[in-house]
Structure 1
Amino acid sequence: MTEPSPSNVTGPLKGLRVVDLTRVLAGPTCTQMLGDLGAEVIKIERPGAGDDTRGFAPPYVPNTKESAYFVGVNRNKKSLTLDIAQPEGQAVVHKLLETADILVENFKAGALARYGLGWEQLKEKYPGLIYCSITGFGQTGPYAPRPGYDALIQAMGGVMSLTGEPEGEPQKVGIPIADLFAGLYGTIGILAALRHKQATGQGQQIDIGMLDTHVAWLANQGMNYLATGENPPRLGNQHPNIVPYQVFPTQDGYMVLSIGNDPTFERFCKSFALEHLLADARYATNAARVQNRALVTETLTEVTRTMPTKEWIARLEALKIGCGPINTLKDVFADPHVLARDMLKEMPHASGETVTVIANPVKLSATPPDYRSAPPVLGEHSDAVLGSLGYSAGQIAALREKGIV
């Protein structure tokens, strides 16, 4: 365990130190979650450049030089600039590992071994170390040496074959979901490994491949294929197993109507003068509606076009029938429920500005997520971290002069 954490840290991982050798999105998503839960996260960045996402701009956070992309996944971290390709830089990492509990990295498979920082090189020296590797294809298998990118994984992992309009081209999801899932699965693996370490004192490597995690969350569609041997077709905004559960046009826009079972469909029909559909075998059961998807969609579209979205939402909510507007992000971040759930946080930033970030969604009653520090400017904590490791001001200056820090 590391030294006791400052008294302002409240999360369940308080007292744990994380050496963060990640960049872009999958790894930083994992380490931000650990930081939100109270761990001390020391993010190691390249001198003069930093995490690639510092350059993924515009947009920038207003009145700062920080990219919105970087700020989104790097709060609760200390930025230490360090050239790990140099022996002096590697020595600093080893100093950190003397008191670290977790190392998270997302270099290509085997790349850190060139610097003496691979799992096989560290596991004997630091037997309690939890070492999480997040890569595109994992540490083994024929694709292990390949680089991994979100869109590539979405393509190879099958989700693009399921996404898009039936007659259109395959589509990726509108956010980098392959990266995000890999980071979150990494967090789950780390928490499990911490429990094992608590019981045995032993660390271990966690091998997260983005393609593996992508295959894992194919969920019902993956099982649909395994059950039938047929690739599920692209259905646009429709559900493969439930009808009606999709986007419908309204008098002034669109809404999502989610009728998840037959009693709800019956309630819907009786409430909107559609009782005659219940006597028609093509509509009577969900299985029949799935078989007659186009007919059901055409029939209900004529009905949903008769009222504006707001009126539909009000009437359907009163009937406890699943529905919702299709919000823009402006709508989302102004939504009274989103605000009531405290999903936006303002944090003082080193620039002197206040940055707004999306909050952690995990609601813990006793140890809620902790918002201690805004995403750091490059190298913001280098002197403080090195000083805590016993480096003198002169030694730090010498490292900086050599370009190590």
Structure 2
Amino acid sequence: MTDANSGGGALEGIKVVEMGQLIAGPFCGQLLGDMGAEVVKIEPPETGDQMRHWGQGEKPSWWRVIARNKYSVAVDLRSPEGQALARDLIAEADILIENFRPGTLEKWNLDPAELRRANSGLIVVRVSGYGQTGPYSARAGFGGIGEAMGGWRGIVGYPDLPPARMGVSIGDTLAATYGCLGALAALHHRTQTGEGQIIDSALYEAVLQVMESTVSDYSVSGAKRKRTGSTLPGIAPSNVYPCRDGDYLIGANQDGVFARLAEAMGRPGLAHDPRYATHRARGAHQEELDALIADWTRTLTIAELEARLLDASVPAGRVYDAEDMLNDPHFAARGALVTVDDPELGAVTMQGVFPKLSATPGSVRRPAPLAVGQDTGEILRRWLGREE
């Protein structure tokens, strides 16, 4: 495996039991594992995590990303024997992650309150659609539902079309990231008190947290955000503009930056035109300004436009796909992509570990487990001192 990072990571020595399925719980486990924690993933013996089959292309590879740095242990959590084994493993853990419907752990005799009585330092990350309390808590919750309730779906897309999705499972990954953030804060608290705690991360609240001033704008002035396609109302110019051979993103909504853009366009007078001279004026004339810029960009190739904007120090960039990322020298120089040797798929290139820590960088230390339960024996020996 090739990785620009090395070393055990900031969370080396931290033991994590992951009981989640699909995206939210497992992505939280991926983040902790990337930072050095030892993550033991409990999977149903017969089927494993359904994420093993997700992804696109002839050979889906999403599992290789979300299950990296993890050990697979096969446990039937619906059986008394499996529940007893899970309790033994959790008694040795620092963090437990789960993203089942609220009440499921309790039904399986794995009530977090009971688990914490046996292991007072245990931190339990619970990711769910609506949270562990409240009138909706028992409802089944998927990422898309959280995105809709949290306000994201309602503002994505064009005003004359139904709400669109992001293109990735942003609700799940946001809730997982906040779950990870909570776990790290709880680890700090534990170093001071010796006590763990329970982290309640709801999908809709994770989405709500990144909705900027959506609620406050309405509470103050009754203003509701609407779907506006590729633009943000009042922020101009900031859009994707057509070139002769594709599209290019330009963000020049600050006064000084807009002046540099106008100079690059060969029209320095635009920066002094009352219609465009200030932030508010540009916002009020957004459509006509976008049309004016688009008329200019259509005369250039992406390479020609990029050269002019780089020379003028105007924030701008190409709209990348996976092929562009693989061929970009900046991605390579920073190790933004890493290549992991997979026993079944061969070399698999994927996103690296972020953010980058200067003293204790994370890394991809081991590939995703190929077989369900392949590490059961090793974990039982190392964690519990017993044979499988």
TM-score with structure 1 length normalisation?
0.90
Classify the secondary structure of the residue corresponding to 2:41: strand
Could you tell me how far apart the structure 2 residues matched to 1:33 and 1:346 are?
Answer: 17
Map residues 2-401 of structure 1 onto 2, 5 A cutoff: 10-56=8-54, 59=57, 61=59, 67-351=60-344, 353-377=346-370, 378-388=372-382, 389-392=384-387, 396=388
SS at match of 1:96: helix
Percent identity between matched residues is: 35
Deviation at 1:353, TM superposition (A): 3.0
Contact 1:162 1:235 in 2 (8 A): yes
Q: Which has the larger displacement, 105-114 or 167-176?
A: 167-176
Deviation at 1:75, TM superposition (A): 0.5
- Cα deviation for residue 36 of structure 1 reads 1.2
Q: Which amino acid aligns with 1:384?
A: E
- Structure 1 counterpart of 2:9, which letter? G
In the other structure, the counterpart of 1:403 is none
Quote the Cα distance in structure 1 between the aligned partners of 2:301 and 2:196. 58
Distance 1:313 1:222 in 2: 37
What code does the residue aligned with 2:375 have?
Answer: H
**Which 5+ residue runs of structure 1 have no aligned equivalent?**
1-7, 62-66, 397-405
8 Å CA contact 2:234, 2:282 repeated in 1: no
SS of the aligned residue for 2:117 comes to coil
The match for 1:3 is none
Ranges of 4+ aligned residues in structure 1 off by more than 6 Å: none
Instruction: Name structure 2 gaps, 5 residues minimum.
Output: 1-5
Q: Does the CA contact (< 8 Å) of 1:76 and 1:372 recur in 2?
A: yes
After superposition, the CA RMSD in angstroms is 1.8
TM value normalised by structure 2: 0.93
Contact kept, 8 Å, 1:153 with 1:214, in 2: the verdict is yes
Residue pair 2:124, 2:199 contacting (<8 A) in 1 also: yes
Distance (whole Å) between structure 1 residues aligned to residue 341 and residue 179 of structure 2 = 28
Deviations 1:158-186 (A, max 9, x none): 11221112322211101111111111111
* Helix, strand or coil at the partner of 2:294: helix
Say if 1:331 and 1:222 are closer, same or farther in 2 by CA, change over 3 A: farther
- SS of 2:130's equivalent in the other structure is coil
1:164 partner letter: G
Determine if contact 2:28/2:177 at 8 Å carries over to the other structure: yes
1:115 offset after TM fit, Å?
1.3
